[in-house]
């Protein structure tokens, strides 16, 4: 039978019996000092730390989503308030005004004065809960800053300074005031 390394060293005379016993005693003490499940404890500790980090990251992302939703609701409330407080009444309107809303032509009835203000860029059409409201241009610009989709119609060509195109072949022809499309 094969001899152990310790027995082979003692047989060759490199190590004596006393030295071999002291080495065995040191090994035994080291094994007793090290807890049996130390490796397992470290792994469990690492896993729990990783789970805590994952939970913190998940909580941060959920909190960010909640904050964004609250901001969106606040903006919607501001837009609603701006429209309702500053809406121009359009009762007894007899002139049909057509405009496009998401590539669909819509028609509302307004007065002649409101039509002139819409075409002049002084009024804008906004949508709130499926209903169209007329608001002044300044209010429409505030609404556009918050949400561009709430303002459906704002004629900015007439309100801003006109830049005449030198090459426009129809610049000499006057457009009639009563032209409706």
pLDDT, position 38:
56
Report the phi/psi class of residue 102: left, alpha or beta, with left for phi > 0 and alpha for psi in -120 to 50: left
pLDDT digits (tens, 9 = 90+) for 4-27: 777 777 778 777 888 888 888 888
**Looking at the DSSP assignment, which residues form a beta bridge with residue 93?**
none
**Buried-state track 109-147, b at ≥16 Cβ within 10 A, e below 16:** ebbeebbebbeebbbbbbbbeeebbbbebebbebbbeee
**What average pLDDT does this structure show over 139-156?**
77
Let me know if 154 is exposed, middle or buried by CB neighbors in 10 A (0-12, 13-18, 19+).
Answer: buried
* pLDDT at residue 171 greater than cutoff 80: no
Could you identify the residue written with the tokens 């082979």? 8
Give the DSSP H or E segment for 68.
helix 38-86
- 61 or 2, which is more confident? 61
pLDDT, position 65:
93
pLDDT, position 166:
62
* pLDDT at residue 159 greater than cutoff 60: no
Say which residues have a Cβ less than 8 Å from residue 97's Cβ, sequence separation at least 6.
107, 108, 109, 110, 114, 115, 118
pLDDT digits (tens, 9 = 90+) for 32-80: 776 665 556 677 888 888 999 999 999 999 999 999 999 988 888 888 8
pLDDT, position 162:
47
pLDDT digits (tens, 9 = 90+) for 88-141: 777 777 788 777 777 888 788 888 887 787 787 788 888 888 788 888 888 888
pLDDT, position 61:
93
């Amino acid at each position: 039978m094969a001899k152990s390394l310790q027995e082979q060293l003692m047989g060759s005379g490199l190590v004596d019996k006393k030295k071999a016993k002291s080495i065995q005693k040191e090994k035994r003490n080291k094994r007793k000092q090290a807890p049996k499940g130390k490796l397992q404890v470290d792994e469990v500790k690492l896993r729990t730390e990783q789970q805590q980090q994952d939970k913190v990251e998940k909580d941060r992302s959920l909190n960010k989503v909640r904050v964004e939703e609250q901001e969106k609701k606040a903006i919607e409330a501001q837009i609603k308030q701006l429209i309702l407080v500053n809406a121009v009444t359009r009762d007894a309107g007899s002139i049909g005004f057509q405009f496009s809303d998401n590539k669909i032509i819509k028609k509302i009835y307004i007065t002649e004065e409101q039509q002139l203000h819409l075409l002049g860029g002084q009024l804008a059409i906004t949508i709130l809960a499926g209903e169209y409201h007329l608001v002044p241009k300044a209010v429409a610009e505030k609404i556009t800053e918050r949400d561009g989709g709430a303002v459906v119609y704002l004629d900015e060509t007439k309100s801003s300074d006109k830049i005449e195109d030198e090459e426009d072949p129809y610049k000499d022809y006057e457009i009639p005031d009563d032209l409706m499309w």
